[in-house]
Amino acid sequence: MRRIVVTGLGAVTPLAAGVEASWSRLLTGRSGIRRLSDDVVGDLPGKIGGVVPSLEEDPDAGFDPNTVFAPKDQRKVDRFILFALAAAEEALAQANWKAVSETARLRTATIIAPASRYQPARGCTFRDCRAVGPQVRCPA
């Protein structure tokens, strides 16, 4: 059996962007769950959820997608990809890891374990199924 070493952590959560801020807020009893705006949930019965705060909503620990990708490139990927990349970068920085060779780079792994995935197509499919039946799917 091969051994692995966890040397760094990264997190983008509804509490904050970053392990330290998320953990300290969790320890003080804060929750990242809130009522979602009607433009997000529409007529869905569930009106609460966890949303990663933006820098505008949380200047101290909100998520800044510009640290991951240039604004023009952000449109090319789903938002959860930006979260995963930010968390991976935080974990590598926390580990103080920079691959110094191609071999070292190839032997490096980042394990991404989301609690749930943001998938716009899934929400669209759910709404379509509710409205007209399971045979309809959104073009994705």
Residue 56's domain spans which residues?
Answer: 19-132
Evaluate whether residue 88 is within a structural domain.
yes
Band of residue 78 on the pLDDT scale cut at 50, 70, 90: confident
The pLDDT assigned to 2 comes to 76
Q: Model-level pTM? A: 0.72
Structural domains in the chain (count): 1
pLDDT tens-digit profile of 11-69?
999 999 999 999 999 999 999 999 988 888 888 888 899 999 999 999 999 999 999 99
Tokens of 67: 């640290």
Evaluate whether residue 27 is within a structural domain.
yes
| Beta-strand runs (E) in the chain | 33-35, 48-50
Separation CA 10–CA 70 (nearest Å): 20
Q: Greater confidence, 3 or 78?
A: 78
| Category of 102 on φ-ψ map: left (φ > 0), alpha (ψ -120 to 50) or beta | alpha
The pLDDT assigned to 126 comes to 47
Evaluate whether residue 13 is within a structural domain.
no
Q: Greater confidence, 67 or 121?
A: 67
